[in-house]
Structure 1
């Protein structure tokens, strides 16, 4: 779960770099899904049966999962093209609460009160870490700079889709192999993005093309990590670990943009780590 959250943070940072370079979402996602689909097909060609069977007993669940993964990809790319990472992540960090609610509703896995409590502590840590940057974001003439409402709506839509993926991963936990969890979302994404991406295609630089292909590899690895996590633990046990995204975002901010975290961010990250550890200890005792 921790590795998957970190990889999705890396994906967001890389996508923001591509957006800043002027690349349209449709082109970026077309290359991402094409790269992931090609990797899966090549792996199965070189190693027959790699990843297990592609057929499934749950076609509706896989279709729903593929759709919400596509929605998450589009929404988050658009959100981070309009919002700073910190503000986009503040919306995203409502995801653990959504995961707990959806798991109770759809999975009938009643989250214990302690899971809600440590999620709340984790969110408090996020608020501590991000508050100074949000409050201090002053605009011209002393006013407050307001990012577009559309950016927040995209972030909210992506968060809802992302949370739904968690629940669907849990519902599909009995199916062995990773072939299905990679093949069907990448095939749908490629089919949808092909006409849109080609209609807005602009010749990328070698670096941009490598970043787009890299996105496909990153999202594939992240998808496998999360799918495997939900094979072994309930949604209520894993939900608080979503807040580790704050620690990862600080890491990628420093790695890509050289931003040194403020003391408040480090304090917030410490609260997040504490909440994750205590949540896991409580789950282990149960």
Structure 2
């Protein structure tokens, strides 16, 4: 779970860099083409790699493909308009949404302590971003927050669907069906919006495909081993990645409030996991 969150943080940073010159449809088109090409190559070298492509739950697989496409698109649009830290403020509502979804649809009522520590983690995020929000933020448009919220809803739905499909193992299913839907949707849009990329930019787009494939597998495997309510609070670890990338790439140094909020978030993640384990 932690590895998957870290990879998605890297994906968001790389996508934000690409969004300065290239549209969402083109970047997504290369991403899904890369995933399908990679799976096809692996299965050609090692027949049957990743397990069967058939599924006993076509509706759940289709639903997961739809919300994964929505999550990828909305977060790309959000981070093209927002700094990573501000976008992650909206994203960190995901543990609450996952807890509600898991209770409603999975019949996995979370322990009371998980709710408490999720609340503490969210309070840490609020502390970290309070100075920016109280000063009016960075002037990011409202649509950036709307896109971040839509992406968060889709991302939370992926959590629940991963848990519902935990008994149907195999990497190939997890990668191929969402990528096929994404390629079908993005092919006409991406070609219409195509802008000849530099070799470096094309490499970034291809790397995005490998990153999202690895992150998707990590999350799917995480939910084969633990309940959604136990894993959801670990989403707060993304705050550490957003701070690191903001500083390392864009030179946005975190203030004292941001560091204090990050410490609260990490502590809440650890305590929530311990409570769920007991």
Same topology, TM > 0.5: yes
Task: Identify the match of residue 256 of structure 1 among 249, 256, 274.
Answer: 249
Residue segments in structure 1 that go unaligned for 5+ positions in a row: 139-144
1:243 partnered with 2:236:
yes
Match of 1:92 in 2: 91
Match of 2:225 in 1: 232
Distance 1:125 1:135 in 2: 16
Q: Which TM-score applies when normalising by structure 1?
A: 0.94
Distance 2:81 2:252 in 1: 19
Distance 2:261 2:200 in 1: 34
Q: How many residues align?
A: 278
Distance 1:127 1:168 in 2: 28
Q: In the TM superposition, what is the alpha-carbon distance from 1:86 to its structure 2 partner?
A: 1.9
1:87-137 alpha-carbon deviations (Å, 9 max, x no partner): 211111110000000001110001111111110011011111111223234
Distance 2:58 2:9 in 1: 29
Q: Which TM-score applies when normalising by structure 2?
A: 0.97
Using the TM superposition, name which of 66-75 and 255-264 deviates more.
255-264
Match of 1:69 in 2: 68
Q: Counterparts in 2 of 1:158-197, with a 5 A limit? A: 158-197=151-190
Distance 1:134 1:4 in 2: 28
Using the TM superposition, name which of 80-89 and 171-180 deviates more.
80-89
Seen in structure 2, the aligned counterparts of structure 1 residues 257 and 149 have a Cα distance that, compared at 3 Å, is: closer
Distance 1:85 1:252 in 2: 8
Distance 2:48 2:251 in 1: 43
Match of 2:7 in 1: 7
Q: Please provide the CA RMSD for this pair.
A: 1.2
Distance 1:136 1:246 in 2: 20
Which portions of structure 1, spanning 4 or more consecutive aligned residues, are displaced by more than 4 angstroms?
none
Distance 1:17 1:87 in 2: 16
Q: In the TM superposition, what is the alpha-carbon distance from 1:254 to its structure 2 partner?
A: 2.5
Distance 2:196 2:252 in 1: 31
1:55-91 alpha-carbon deviations (Å, 9 max, x no partner): 0000000000000000111111111112222221111
Match of 1:54 in 2: 53
1:35 partnered with 2:31:
no
Distance 2:274 2:110 in 1: 15
CA contact (8 A) 2:71 2:154 kept: yes
Distance 1:253 1:153 in 2: 21
Q: Counterparts in 2 of 1:274-285, with a 5 A limit? A: 274-285=267-278
1:111 partnered with 2:110:
yes
1:147-203 alpha-carbon deviations (Å, 9 max, x no partner): 222211111110100000000000000012111000100111011100100011110
Q: Counterparts in 2 of 1:9-24, with a 5 A limit? A: 9-20=9-20, 22-24=21-23
